[in-house]
Amino acid sequence: MTKTWFITGAARGFGRLLTEKLLARGDKVFATVRREGSLTLEHPNLRVLHMDLTDPASIRGSIDAAFREGRIDVIIANAGYGLFGAAEELSDAAISRQIATNLTGAIDLVRAALPHLRGQQGGRFLQVSSEGGQLAYPGFSLYHATKWGIEGFIEAVAQEVAGFGIEMTLIEPGPTATEFATSVDMAQTIPAYEESNVGAVRRDLRAIAEGGTGDSFAGLADAGRSVDAMIALAEQQELPRRLVLGSTAFDNIGATLRARLSELKAQRDVPLAAD
């Protein structure tokens, strides 16, 4: 049975791969792009919509236009980008744009979609987050702030709307062979950080942008297989709250959760003393 999908950030990366694979199997896709003309696919089952995640009216307009044409089975909120730099290297404008795109815009997309999903008595909403929604790397402080933020938001909203037949899942890819590393917005460098762990990751990002590799991004997952997993997830009978993609993400998140639990257990007497 064919499905109708709404995919944000379809010009490249996961979004484009999802769009191509879904069209190839006969599904209908509403694909959003920030820059008109950036998605050059042509297909009778494809409708390309312009959407700016920093503009709530643009978000509502795209969502409303898609739902006017009928039921949407799955929404995949994929749009976003990375911002790199030590916290004090980041400009006010860069911080505002990162939050507006990755967090506030993602929240506005959910809020715009929910009345329609309730109206059709259900649907599935997959939010692409990151392994960076459960752990943190130096130099990505604002990126992590947006990912940790959207994860908390989706956790709460999923509970609010479960009674309406709406299911929500957080997708947490690790390092993947997409354009992410080459499209990261880089802050202006403060020399004091060049010999720190921030500087090491920055050099790896520059190496990748120039066609090389970097130790900070070893063990890349395959983008095509990651997208296949997202599509398979959307067709499961019941959705999990989270789907981790890639062995690197699986190992990194597992290690982080074990360390956090160990720290919690070691502090047991302190919280109990507060009772």
Domains by residue range for the chain, with CATH: 4-248 (3.40.50.720)
Q: Note the pTM of the prediction, 2 decimals.
A: 0.93
Active site residues: 129, 143, 147
Nearest to 187 by CA among 81, 95, 84: 84
Cα 155 from Cα 203, distance rounded (Å): 35
Per-residue pLDDT of the chain (275 residues; tens, 9 = 90+): 899 999 999 999 999 999 999 999 999 999 999 988 778 888 999 999 999 999 999 999 999 999 999 999 999 999 999 999 999 999 999 999 999 999 999 999 999 999 999 999 999 999 999 999 999 999 999 999 999 999 999 999 999 999 999 999 999 998 887 777 678 899 999 999 999 999 999 998 888 777 666 666 667 789 999 999 999 999 999 999 999 999 999 999 999 999 999 999 999 988 888 88
Q: What is the pLDDT of residues 165-219, one digit of tens each?
A: 999 999 999 888 777 767 889 999 999 999 999 999 999 888 877 766 666 666 7
Q: For the chain, give the percent of residues with pLDDT over 70.
A: 96
Tell me the one-letter amino acid at 171.
Answer: I
Residue at 90: amino acid letter: L
Alpha helices by DSSP H, the chain: 13-24, 56-67, 92-98, 105-119, 141-161, 197-209, 223-234, 247-266, 269-273
CA distance 249 to 251: 5
